[in-house]
């Protein structure tokens, strides 16, 4: 088991993930989560940015993409701000579990 780190909200301009991290941003127009990570070796650190109620704006997603984040979709429904991180963590667990 592992305990995820939940960071306080920060502006994208302050995000500077190390190259060895996989940094994702949740957005309905992103690549489906499992497809985006399928058939690749996942790093030991995966960061997922989930948005506020109503989600990130298209401008925020463009800025995040310019900073190296990969847009991913958490599914066909719009999730609440407190639910999206749980879904993202569940998806990461399902893709990385070696049981």
Kindly report, residue by residue over 4-39, the tens digit of the pLDDT.
888 888 777 788 877 788 899 999 889 998 888 777
Average pLDDT across the chain, whole number: 85
Q: Is the pLDDT of residue 63 over 70?
A: yes
Query: Which has the higher per-residue pLDDT, 69 or 37?
Result: 69
What gap in Å lies between CA 95 and CA 1, rounded to an integer? 14
DSSP for 66-99?
HTT-EEEE--SSPPPTTTHHHHHHHHHHHHH---
């Amino acid at each position: 088991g592992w305990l995820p780190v939940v960071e306080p909200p920060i502006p994208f301009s302050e995000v500077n993930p190390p190259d060895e991290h996989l940094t994702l941003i949740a957005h309905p127009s992103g690549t489906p989560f499992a497809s985006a990570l399928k058939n690749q070796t996942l790093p030991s650190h995966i960061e997922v940015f989930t948005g506020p109620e109503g989600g990130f704006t298209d401008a925020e997603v463009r800025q995040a993409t310019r900073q190296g984040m990969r847009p991913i979709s958490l599914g066909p429904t719009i999730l609440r701000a407190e639910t999206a991180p749980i879904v993202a963590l569940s998806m990461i667990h399902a893709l990385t579990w070696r049981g």
